[in-house]
Amino acid sequence: MAAPAATSFYISTSSSSSAVSSSTKSLKPALSSNLGFLSTSSPSLKALKAKSHSYNVSSYGGALNVRMVAAPAAVKAPMSLDFETSVFKKEKVTLSGHDEYIVKGGRDLFKLLPDAFKGIKQIGVIGWGSQGPAQAQNLRDSLAEAKSDIVVKIGLRKGSRSFAEARAAGFTEENGTLGDLYETISGSDLVLLLISDAAQADNYEEVFSHMKPNSILGLSHGFLLGHLQSLDLDFPKNISVIAVCPKGMGPSVRRLYVQGKEINGAGINASFAVHQDIDGRATDVALGWSVALGSPFTFATTLEQEYRSDIFGERGILLGAVHGIVESLFRRYTENGMSEELAYKNTVECITGNISRTISTKGMLALYNSLDAEGKKVFATAYSASYYPCMEILYECYEDVATGSEIRSVVLAGRRFSEKEGLPAFPMGKIDQTRMWKVGERVRATRPSGDLGPLYPFTAGVYVALMMAQIEVLRKKGHSYSEIINESVIESVDSLNPFMHARGVSFMVDNCSTTARLGSRKWAPRFDYNLTQQALVAVDNNLPINMDLMTNFVCDPVHEAIEVCARLRPTVDISVPADADFVRPELRQTVN
């Protein structure tokens, strides 16, 4: 690739942006030293924070002519989400000065599940897509370990191809654990509606009509609330409505649960929400559900905040944005003379392997500090040029989700999958036949076992800029740090990226949930084009590094919050073999 601007930089107390030298100044020790996980009580961090407020923003011309509105420390206080539980132990955690409340999981808590699920005789798991298989099996196994007689029953459409897979997992008509969708709903005290978002939007009236009075509707995504809000509707008033939302796809939920059986549990963190509680049971039922799934820790949110952060996140760093940036960087690297195999390693393999593992276990600052002096300069060049182009798309995406536009888009797209109004069906095509993804197949075929790929500083700078921009949008929109970190960091590096490292980004884009696949196809090109047309042009034009951005990155209070959350991460690293299967059953016949 063409070398980025060889700009050295340092942190200055001067109020003039001209204090940043374009070629001759060196990194001062305060920024280039090994900062690791700095606490807000750290003298070094306090000094850097104090300095960060004395700068004027470097003004980038053209497409990057934006104004920084505040240093990261001056953020909107997240909403308070306290809760009461009579079954589980609630614990307080302090994340960057904000108190939040969580429930830690563990297999030693399974004995409490009968109390949490008091009054529930049957749990109906509706659907066998991404979350259905994992949640049904985890619930069944956890309840069996608790010696509970609660039945976990799968409900599917008549004629569904998923019946065979549910039977293979041990759910059968003969033992009363597999049956028709609506019969299962009618007979269940807790209904976990895990069909696709588009299917929920098209079938919610029928689902509601079959639910028993005083039963509980469980969701693993707030999409249905967003759809109902767009129609000025709400849930029936004779049922409770809760949510438990694992911060990872279903196969990760199951895989980590199985891996953790011998060490008191491992799994995927989850958020929970109580939207409607008609008899006072909702909180304990939701927490019991999360504990039974194996969640290492469960944090509170609202159903509205959940669907906004989740739909936004999967269009951002979880899938859509990472798809867009690797396409952009692969094209740049090869156009500037890098071999296709090396370009793939320096984009996809770098992000899904080395970068993700380092952020997962040590944090973003440790990633930055692992680079040598020249690598830090390249990182800073990429970060400075990419941060606002990424934020521009993320900001737009969040507002499309919050206003219902993105939800409406998903519903309409789902309806176009079938012939309608004399027009042909337009199901989603696959992306894995293009040049980049064919190169990826060759790279993975010869990759040594355990190889996490290179750490390429320019790619790292772009990826971390994306991650920090997403964190900032969610923070400014009032989300809790638990939700921000799980949606922007943990779900990415601990759940999705390991699967992408095993099978490729294209495989994930082609085989994850319908809502996520649609979002990636819609938003990935936006990130691709914005990086290509703005960030990379800024680099080629040798625009100076925005020192305020770099200072704020180093001093951002989110690093301390990530450190706290890292202590609550799964007790084992997810192990994903090269043949890991997470193809949704309805797609299986179209997969090579």
Sign of torsion over alpha carbons 551, 60, 323, 396: positive
- The catalytic position among 221, 275, 323, 559 is 221
Cβ atoms within 10 Å, residue 498: 23
Q: Tell whether 341 is in a known binding site.
A: no
Contact 25, 9 (CB under 8 A): yes
Closest C-alpha among 317, 315, 349, 344 to residue 521:
315
Q: Tell whether 491 is in a known binding site.
A: yes
* Diameter over CA atoms, the chain: 77
Structural tokens at position 203: 């079938």
Q: Tell whether 487 is in a known binding site.
A: yes
Contact 466, 325 (CB under 8 A): yes
- Give the side-chain half-sphere CA count within 13 A for 373: 10
Closest C-alpha among 461, 529, 497, 475 to residue 317:
497
Closest C-alpha among 311, 312, 222 to residue 275:
222
**Coil, strand, or helix at residue 331?**
helix
Work out the angle at residue 61's Cα, subtended by the Cα atoms of residues 59 and 62, and round it to the nearest 5 degrees. Answer: 145
Contact 387, 465 (CB under 8 A): yes
Active site residue 501: no
Tokens 């750490």 appear where?
Answer: 455
What is the layout of strands, in order, in the sheet containing 151-156? Answer: 91-95, 98-104, 297-300, 270-276, 240-246, 216-219, 190-193, 122-126, 151-156, 178-180
Q: Tell whether 483 is in a known binding site.
A: no
Binding residues: 310, 314, 487, 491, 513
Q: Which residues are catalytic?
A: 221
Binding residues for substrate: 513
Binding residues for Mg(2+): 310, 314, 487, 491
